[in-house]
Each structure stands twice: as C-alpha cells, then as structure tokens.
C-alpha cells in the first residue's frame, strides 16, 4: 500500500503582503465607521427605555403602597448634586406632610446621555396638554400624590407626564427618542407613550 505524502511549499507564498494587510485594515475601519453611530444610537435608546421603565415601575409602586398602607403616598423626581436623576416614594399626609428621603438613582440615567423632564408645576398639577415637559432640576417642580384608593389626590390637572429622552446638543431632548409615562385620569390610570404623544 502506498503512503501519500503531502508537502507544503515554504518561502515566497507564505504569509500576507503589507498591501494585503493594509487593505484589510482599511476595510475594517470603514465597517466600524459605518456601524458605530448606529450602535451608539441603539445603546442610548436602551438607556432611555430602561430609565422610563424604572420610573413607570416606581409610580406603580407608589400607587401600590398608597393602597396597601391606606395612606397618601407621593412620588418626586429630581437631579442630585452630581446631576444624576433620582426619585423618592414617601408617605405624605395633609396633617403631617412627609418629606422625601431615601432617594434612589434612576437606572441608566447618565447625566450627559439621558434627559429627564416633567410637566408638573405643583402637586398633581401640570402645564397641560400640548407642552413639552421641562427638564428636572435639583428642586422638584411638583409631585404626584396618590390617595388610599390609588387615585390621584385632588386637585388634578392632567395629564401628568414624566418623560425620558436621549440628550442632544445643549442637553436638549431628542424628541424622536422620547418615552414617557402619563397619568391621564384622576383614577390614576397610567399610559406609556413615545415621541410627540408625550406632549398630548
């Protein structure tokens, strides 16, 4: 039986030329340049979605606590000293108004990447439909307060909106990326909306 022996040529045909390596590196650079903005946009939108989901869950928790403990509970959102968005849920009775403590950071709300705003001007009072929410500050513009049944404490002027968007130039919100939670009725009904719907 014959045994087959394979031999490889060594020498000039082995490896890559400098020109081939440069062409491959150039092509990879072009692909990265094309893909990077889309990937960064995707990551920023994921941050917006995560922050909006956290705020929605916090509002639902506030409503749930009010029902469970048969007390008025409030929700506020603000910027801390590091310009990071944070929220608090706390009992808030007319006879002894509570003060927010135990603020929790809004997940994924990086200061220069995610913008958070609200149309609140006072307790359960908003600027009304048709206006873009204003950016939150270190002093909450207003609060959302639920009573022992989970309804909004009167007076109520809605919809009450808390919005999250990608931060654009000069920290302005990118409207196309905006997500928001709105309390649309005195019964405390919540809806998640996006884009232009956040001003309705």
CATH number of the domain encompassing residue 145? 3.55.40.10
CB 192 within 8 A of CB 52: yes
Taking the C-alpha atoms of residue 150 and residue 58, their distance in angstroms, rounded to an integer, is: 14
Is 9 contained in some domain? no
Is 4 contained in some domain? no
Domain count, the chain: 1
* Boundaries of domain holding 78: 18-199
Is 7 contained in some domain? no
Is 171 contained in some domain? yes
Is 55 contained in some domain? yes
The whole-number pLDDT of residue 143 equals 92
Residue 176 CA from chain centroid, whole number = 13
The pLDDT tens digits for 3-52 are: 655 555 555 566 788 888 888 888 887 877 776 677 777 788 888 999 99
Is 22 contained in some domain? yes
| 178: pLDDT strictly greater than 80 | yes
Taking the C-alpha atoms of residue 59 and residue 156, their distance in angstroms, rounded to an integer, is: 16
What is the pTM (predicted TM-score) of this model? Answer: 0.79
The whole-number pLDDT of residue 89 equals 93
Taking the C-alpha atoms of residue 52 and residue 60, their distance in angstroms, rounded to an integer, is: 12
Is 97 contained in some domain? yes
């Amino acid at each position: 039986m014959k045994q087959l022996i394979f031999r490889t040529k060594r020498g000039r045909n082995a490896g890559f030329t400098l020109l081939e390596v440069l062409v491959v590196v150039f092509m990879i650079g072009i692909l990265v340049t094309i893909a990077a903005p889309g990937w960064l946009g995707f990551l920023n939108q994921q941050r917006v979605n995560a922050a909006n989901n956290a705020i929605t869950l916090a509002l639902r928790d506030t409503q749930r606590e009010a029902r469970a403990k048969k007390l008025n509970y409030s929700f506020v959102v603000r910027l801390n000293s590091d310009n990071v968005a944070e929220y608090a849920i706390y009992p808030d009775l007319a006879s002894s108004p509570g003060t927010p403590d135990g603020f929790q950071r809004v997940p994924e709300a990086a200061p220069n990447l995610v913008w958070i705003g609200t149309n609140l001007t006072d307790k359960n009072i908003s600027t009304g439909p048709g206006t873009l929410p204003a950016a939150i500050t270190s002093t909450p513009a207003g609060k959302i307060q639920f009573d022992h049944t989970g309804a909004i404490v009167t007076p109520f002027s809605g919809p009450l909106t808390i919005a999250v968007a990608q931060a654009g130039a000069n920290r302005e919100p990118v409207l196309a990326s905006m997500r928001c939670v709105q309390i649309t009725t005195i019964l405390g009904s919540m809806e998640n909306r996006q884009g232009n719907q956040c001003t309705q």
